[in-house]
Amino acid sequence: MEIKITRNPNPGVKPEPSVLGFGKYFTDHMFMMDYSAEEGWHDARIVPFGPLMLHPACTALHYGSEIFEGLKAYRRADGKVQLFRPIENIRRMNRSAERLCLPTVPEELAMEVLTKFISFEQDWTPSAPGTSLYIRPFMFGNDETLGVHAVKHATFVIITSPVGSYYKEGINPVKIMIEADDVRAVRGGTGEAKCGGNYAASNRAGEKAEKAGYSQVLWLDGVERKYIEEVGAMNVMFKIDGEVVTPALLGSILPGITRKSCLELLRAEGYRVSERRLSIDELAKALEEGKLEEAWGCGTAAVISPIGELCYMGKKYTINNGEIGEVTAHLYNSLTGIQWGTLPDTYGWTLPIED
Ligand SMILES: *Cc1c(COP(=O)(O)O)cnc(C)c1O
């Protein structure tokens, strides 16, 4: 598909790596294309970054038909920029689209516009250690009527944001609050889709946890409120008595690409790994018996986040003396090594971007 380019007449100044943070700065351009039932995807364009014009009846604003993705471009030591498993993001976006009755984007088209846009904007990929260019593709229903139905119009956008190192003073264990009241998702709902609505419903518990001094919420299943699901924007893994255990994908959990990569790495290296249901009681028992050896979250933003403390119904549980464990550190080093190109990519996960 032809991509029409309109250059930004007022290019911005690239921020210093020390001020980057997450999602605060945006690059000079964004990618957009539109969908209609009659024309399919059309009008692919790279335009100056700026506000969107929306009809006040736009479907996304009233009925929440919005999905998104998150991936990063990494600058290698040789100066080249590369993506990590982007096809997985495209496939997940299309699964999310199906769940929310939004149009899918053919894989080849999605990969073409993504790689061309990142190639166009690649100078914005910072090179300081731990920094990257965060890529946020998103799609929303864009009918200009208040009727409730699967949309006939949608808009797909990609914005990019240079982001800082997640761990400025070394990789630090986080404290997590297990949420006993609100639930995030149930089987048959939208928990396995990456959609904005899931986050809107999560914020109340997140605020509560933050006020109590915890950085994120660990969700329990929505039916029995007994089984571990995932952390705010990360999947979760535990090492119990030598085995790595992570909740199985039963329909209410986001199928993370970092999760998938951890499992593939661990299995290839001969670790004992299981995807299954894991109850809060089993976890508490393992802790009391000294068998809960490590816990960590995994997601694109932080890659691997060691968990040093869990709090459930006011009771605090310290894990591994609040220190980073051996498998946690190994996963962090392996994944970041492949992503930034300091370790060989024997899995074929990286995709270099053309200059
Ligand atoms: C995006 C996300 C994750 C992590 O997925 P990655 O593909 O590893 O970045 C986990 N949980 C939720 C709710 C998410 O939105």
What percent of the chain lies above the pLDDT cut of 70? 99
| Ligand 1 residue neighbourhood (C-beta within 6 Å) | 70, 194, 230, 233-235, 254, 256-259, 299-300
Rounded distance between C-alpha atoms, residue 104 and residue 81, angstroms: 27
Lookup: tokens for 15: 């921020």
CATH superfamily assigned to domain 174-339: D-amino Acid Aminotransferase, subunit A, domain 2 (3.20.10.10)
Instruction: State which of 96, 134, 235, 260 you would mutate to test the pocket of ligand 1, scoring each by most atoms of that ligand within 8 A of its C-beta.
Output: 235
**CB-neighbour burial class of residue 54 (10 A; exposed 0-12, middle 13-18, buried 19+):** middle
Q: Would you say the C-alpha torsion 120, 132, 269, 246 has a positive or negative sign?
A: negative
| Closest listed residue to residue 219, CA positions, set 322, 210, 206 | 206
Give the bridge partners for 315, in sequence order: 312
62: confidence class by pLDDT, cuts 50, 70, 90: very high
pLDDT at 249 over 90: yes
What is the DSSP code string of 284-306?
HHHHHTT-EEEEEEEETTTEEEE
165: confidence class by pLDDT, cuts 50, 70, 90: confident
Q: How far is the CA of 43 from the centre of ligand 1 (A)?
A: 30
What is the per-residue pLDDT for 172? 84
Q: Would you say the C-alpha torsion 279, 281, 285, 288 has a positive or negative sign?
A: positive
Give this prediction's pTM: 0.97
169: confidence class by pLDDT, cuts 50, 70, 90: low
The overall average pLDDT reported for the chain is 96
Number of other CB atoms surrounding residue 188 within 10 Å: 9
**CATH class for domain 4-163?**
alpha beta
Q: How far is the CA of 212 from the centre of ligand 1 (A)?
A: 24
Residue located nearest, by CA, to atom 10 of ligand 1: 234
Residue located nearest, by CA, to atom 1 of ligand 1: 233
Q: How far is the CA of 56 from the centre of ligand 1 (A)?
A: 30
pLDDT at 156 over 80: yes
Please tell me which residue, 103 or 166, carries the higher pLDDT value: 103
- Boundaries of every domain in the chain: 4-163, 174-339
